[in-house]
Amino acid sequence: MVERIIIHLDMDCFFAQVEERESPQFKRKPVVVGADPKGGRGRGVVSTCNYEARKFGVHSAMPISQAWKLCPDAVFLPPNFELYSRVSENIMNIIRGFAEQVEQVSLDEAYIEINPKSDHSTSLRSPRAGSRGEVRNSKQTWEKAEKLAQQMRKEILQKEKLKCSCGIGPNKMVAKIACEAAKPPRQGSGQANGVVVVREEEAEKFMEPLDIEKMPGIGQKTAAILRQSNFNTVADLKKLSEHDLEDLFGKRGSEMYLRVRGIDNNSVEPEHEVKSVGKETTFEQDTRDPELLIRTFEQLAKQVAQELAKEGLAFKTITVVCRFSGFETHTKDKTLKEPSSSEAVLREEAIKLFLRFLTENQKPIRLLGVRAKIAPKSNI
Ligand code: TTP
Ligand code: MG
């Protein structure tokens, strides 16, 4: 087995940092993003807040009324998800420019595997036998990983004017916990530069002093039960046998046995985005005019087929969308046995689906759409 090196990158106080970037007058002020505090009577929660506000004890998921009490002078803002999604897309594109194996886990965090077998440009393998017969990465290889993390941070800062932190470890769990250790306020030599590296041989010791709630799979309820028996740290959990852990965590017991020893076998799963090409039309007035409907539908199918052909793409699933009066929307789809790139097949199958709509539902039609899901060409 080849030892892995995984980076976990997470933006610092993401929503709040984006808001600060957009409105420089908020700099150095406590900023809380979340529900309307309504002068302390608001009922929602805090999405996040910047580090100035965290000094007052405000944190994510806290009732907004409590945040108001702790820090009434903060700038309170509603979340602007559309903006955060756009910024997130830019950040993920920057990261993807550095590595092929990227798993985005939320708007502001991603795992990056930097030594997959397929990627020789970032292949950092250097044969040295590890304790479990693994091929270990050399010290230089880990240093190279740290440089890569710093380059990503630098480019995100230059292009998006936003800061992030990185954890680097031999697996996802250790990388994520290392990233938390890298977060602001950055103090001490290891954390001062926003990257914390925990090498394979350090992972077990790194985990030991952590509070049990830092472990994925241990929430507040389980932690409360464990604490009653004086299990407070990961080191305490190491006293339990695999059997004991199975009693406590069921099927996840054996995984927990490994996790408390710094081992996590979950792989980085780059998302395989399913793309599709689609066109739709809304009629000026809801209609049942058969001629208009068929003509419009044929045009849509043709446009989709032409766009696929232009890009040299094949499809396997065709979807037809029909919105009737009153916004009632239905879809029907057909998956072919084999991928195809034939315009005739697309039109024929789409029209069959559409005719089923016409016979099943007599209401006037407001919108029509055709969509084809792209299939890998290698399957043809
Ligand atoms: P996080 O990465 O968990 O938090 P953060 O980026 O605000 O702060 P940190 O520096 O500690 O990473 O979450 C990312 C965004 O997700 C966060 O900016 C707002 C949103 N979020 C919520 O809306 N509710 C929540 O409970 C949490 C934890 C996050
Ligand atoms: Mg974050």
CA distance 295 to 354: 12
The residue whose CB lies within 8 Å of the most ligand 1 atoms, and thus the one to mutate among 20, 60, 156, is 60
161: phi > 0 → left, psi -120 to 50 → alpha, else beta; which?
Answer: left
Domain match, 227 and 283 both? no
Q: Is the pLDDT of residue 380 over 50?
A: no
For residue 239, the enclosing domain spans 208-259
Ligand showing the shortest atom-to-Cα distance for residue 16: 1
Tens digit of each residue's pLDDT (9 = 90 or more) over 314-372: 899 999 999 999 888 899 999 998 889 898 999 999 999 999 999 999 999 999 999 99
Tens digit of each residue's pLDDT (9 = 90 or more) over 183-205: 998 766 566 799 999 999 999 99
Closest Cα partner for 181 from 170, 196, 168, 203? 196
Is residue 268 included in any domain, yes or no? no
22 is catalytic: no
Neighbours of 169 (CB within 10 A): 29
Q: For residue 330, which phi and psi values (nearest 5 degrees)?
A: -130, 150
Ligand showing the shortest atom-to-Cα distance for residue 12: 1
| Cβ-contact 54, 74 below 8 angstroms | no
Distance 118 CA to ligand 2 centre (A): 29
Index of the ligand 1 atom closest to the CA of residue 16? 18
Q: Where are the beta strands (DSSP E) in 179-275?
A: 195-197
Q: What total of structural domains would you count in the chain?
A: 4
Is residue 134 included in any domain, yes or no? yes
Q: Residue 134 has what pLDDT?
A: 60
Domain match, 135 and 246 both? no
Domain match, 227 and 285 both? no
Domain match, 68 and 94 both? no
Is residue 49 included in any domain, yes or no? yes
Distance 94 CA to ligand 1 centre (A): 20
Q: Residue 146 has what pLDDT?
A: 96
| Cβ-contact 79, 97 below 8 angstroms | no
Distance of CA 149 to the CA centre of its chain: 18
CA atoms within 13 A on the CB side of 161: 8
Is residue 265 included in any domain, yes or no? no
Final residue in a domain of this structure, among 64, 80, 96? 80
Is residue 234 included in any domain, yes or no? yes
Is residue 106 included in any domain, yes or no? yes
Is residue 251 included in any domain, yes or no? yes
The predicted model scores a pTM of 0.72
Domain match, 76 and 94 both? no
Index of the ligand 1 atom closest to the CA of residue 183? 10
Which residues line the pocket of ligand 1, CB cutoff 6 A? 10-15, 47-48, 60-61, 108-109, 183
